[in-house]
Amino acid sequence: MWQQMICVVLIAISPLIPSPSIDQPLTTPTVFVPGGDVSAADDASPAFTPNGETVYFMRGTDKGTVIVTSHRVDGGWSAPVAAPFSGQWRDGDPAMAPDGSFLVFASNRPALKDGPAIDAVRKGQRVVGQGMNLWRVDRQGNGWSEPVRLPDIVNTCTSTFAPSIAADHSIYYIGCAPDGVLRPLRTVYEKGQYQAPYVVAVGDKDAQIRDVAIAPDRSFMVFSIKHDPKQPYRLAISFHTADNWSEPQDLGDMVNGGTHSMGSQLGCDHRTLYFSSDRALPASLSTNANGDRMWKVSLAPWLARLGDRLVAVASSCVAG
């Protein structure tokens, strides 16, 4: 998602994989604009507290990206303000643990105290200050701890981003696989430590996958996928099976509008999908500002196959 916020390439949409055969009617995504300011473009990755009353998300600015937060007030959302742990560095991709006990995000902030911002290495060239590593803040009362960088075993390179957290506190994210290619990875949390990550095998070997949103019980995940650099990223869903992960199902043209669909996140009900796209706003919300905005859509037609295995919604969750 981060790379799409920095430079959006306008390309024509072409389906990657067949749309699913769904008997139930599909719903059209609706725009999600905390604070109601549709002129604020380049918003992405909304991460909700377990009760759905507070959301953290990434906002693009003329200086980079910052994590902002908004609270539900009288049926609406307050004007977003910078999160207490963000605002100095290029921060983004917040992900909330399902129990709300911690939040993980990507940042270029120095890996070492008083050091420089993290550089990126792209095609053998160093790009100053454009790197990304994963950081964690723990819930402390009504606030957060100081950010702590996840260990080198997780931050396998300077392009480590797009975390998503399961109920067992394992983290799915995009990072450098042993072959040096950016792939979806999973690190398990055991005895207070993150373990060496492994590649999440989903889709065929040529698939480029970004921005995995994992269900708390790991029964399904939604992600962006493409097979050719000239294709747009499209949203797809895959289910956990006895043989690992099912073949990705494209979420269809009704969901995949605009020139790309990125930044998958699940709401506190675990069945509302939030994502970012430059798709056209409704006429009633038209604005001259271009860029990505956040959208939401129900995954109910696809999750029906889980039946009794569908994770229950917490009674405290207010989705939407």
CB-based burial of residue 8 (10 Å sphere; 0-12 exposed, 13-18 middle, 19+ buried)?
A: middle
Q: What mean pLDDT is predicted for residues 86-94?
A: 95
Confidence of residue 7 (pLDDT cuts 50, 70, 90): very low
Instruction: With respect to residue 318, please indicate whether it lies within any of the assigned structural domains.
Output: no
Token pair listed for 210: 């970004």
Instruction: With respect to residue 206, please indicate whether it lies within any of the assigned structural domains.
Output: yes
The per-residue pLDDT for range 259-297, each reduced to its tens digit, is 999 999 999 999 999 999 998 888 777 676 778 899 999
The per-residue pLDDT for range 211-265, each reduced to its tens digit, is 999 999 999 999 999 998 888 999 999 999 888 899 999 999 999 988 999 999 9
pLDDT of the residue at 16: 42
Confidence of residue 6 (pLDDT cuts 50, 70, 90): very low
Coil vs helix vs strand at 300? helix
Residues of the domain holding 221? 2-309
Give 73-82's long-range contacts (Cβ < 8 A, gap of 24+). Answer: 76/36, 77/33, 77/34, 77/35, 77/36, 78/34, 78/35, 79/35, 79/37, 80/34, 80/35, 80/40
The per-residue pLDDT for range 130-144, each reduced to its tens digit, is 899 999 999 999 899
pLDDT of the residue at 23: 46
Into how many domains does the chain fold? Answer: 1
d(CA 83, CA 105): 12
Token pair listed for 28: 């059209």
First to last CA, the chain: 22
Instruction: With respect to residue 8, please indicate whether it lies within any of the assigned structural domains.
Output: yes
Look at residue 8 and tell me whether its pLDDT is greater than 50: no
pTM greater than 0.75: yes
- 29-33, 127-131, 198-202, 268-272 — which is least confidently predicted? 127-131
Q: What type of residue is 238?
A: S
CA distances 156 to 8, 151, 216, Å, are 26, 9, 24
* Sign of the dihedral through C-alpha 49, 41, 161, 66: negative
Phi (first) and psi of residue 308, to 5 degrees: -70, -15
Instruction: With respect to residue 71, please indicate whether it lies within any of the assigned structural domains.
Output: yes
Confidence of residue 77 (pLDDT cuts 50, 70, 90): very high
CA atoms within 13 A on the CB side of 315: 0
Look at residue 302 and tell me whether its pLDDT is greater than 70: yes
Q: Could you tell me the CATH number of the domain that includes residue 164?
A: 2.120.10.30
Closest CA to 10 of 277, 254, 274: 277
Instruction: With respect to residue 315, please indicate whether it lies within any of the assigned structural domains.
Output: no
Instruction: With respect to residue 168, please indicate whether it lies within any of the assigned structural domains.
Output: yes
pLDDT of the residue at 1: 60
pLDDT of the residue at 319: 77
Instruction: With respect to residue 320, please indicate whether it lies within any of the assigned structural domains.
Output: no
Look at residue 318 and tell me whether its pLDDT is greater than 90: no
DSSP 16-74: SSPPP--SSPPPPPEEE-TTS-TT---EEEEEE-TTSSEEEEEEEETTEEEEEEEEEET
Look at residue 22 and tell me whether its pLDDT is greater than 80: no
Q: What mean pLDDT is predicted for residues 10-18?
A: 36
